[in-house]
Amino acid sequence: MPEQIFKVTTTSLKEGYQVINKARGKSIVIDEPKAFGGTDIGMSPVEALLAGLGSCKCIAGRMFAEKLNINLHELEVEVTGNLNTDGFLGDENVKIGFTDIHATYHVKADNTEAEISHFVNYVESHCPVGDTLINPASITFAANVI
């Protein structure tokens, strides 16, 4: 399959920190919790990043289960990340983003522990979102004054 371009357009809404993200006619509202001044109508951006990672791992798991002869009944991935918000709020001695991210797979399948371990390692090595976090893509930006 040739290289594809994926595009999301994010627009700041009028209330608090709400933003709407649109792609392919679908939309997701992202916000901040009330404790951070948001309206708590949606996940925060960092929660959405973790959700994207967990979702990618689950989708890859479903995609590759049959290929790896895994009789998969249930797959849940719990993703946690450690983030000190002082960095975002201006403390130059604190990292702004996550310091570490951990995923725990909960797999129900009619397979041996060794087969499930191989399956999880395969999913880990084939998750595009995980790969992007481990081997960061270059990021560029431009400003367009309206």
pLDDT digits (tens, 9 = 90+) for 61-98: 999 999 999 999 999 999 999 999 999 899 999 999 99
Tell whether 27 and 55 lie within a shared domain.
no
Amino acid present at 18: Q
Tell whether 129 and 57 lie within a shared domain.
yes
Q: What distances in angstroms separate CA 57 from CA 17, 18, 75, 119, 129, one per listed residue? A: 28, 27, 9, 11, 8
Tell whether 14 and 69 lie within a shared domain.
no
* Of the candidates 73, 77, 78, 76, the residue with the CA atom closest to the CA atom of residue 108: 73
Torsion of CA 70, 131, 32, 139, to 10 degrees: -160
- pLDDT at residue 25, as a whole number: 97
Element (H, E) at 65: helix 45-65
- Res 47 pLDDT > 90: yes
- pLDDT at residue 124, as a whole number: 98
Q: Residue 76's domain spans which residues?
A: 44-134
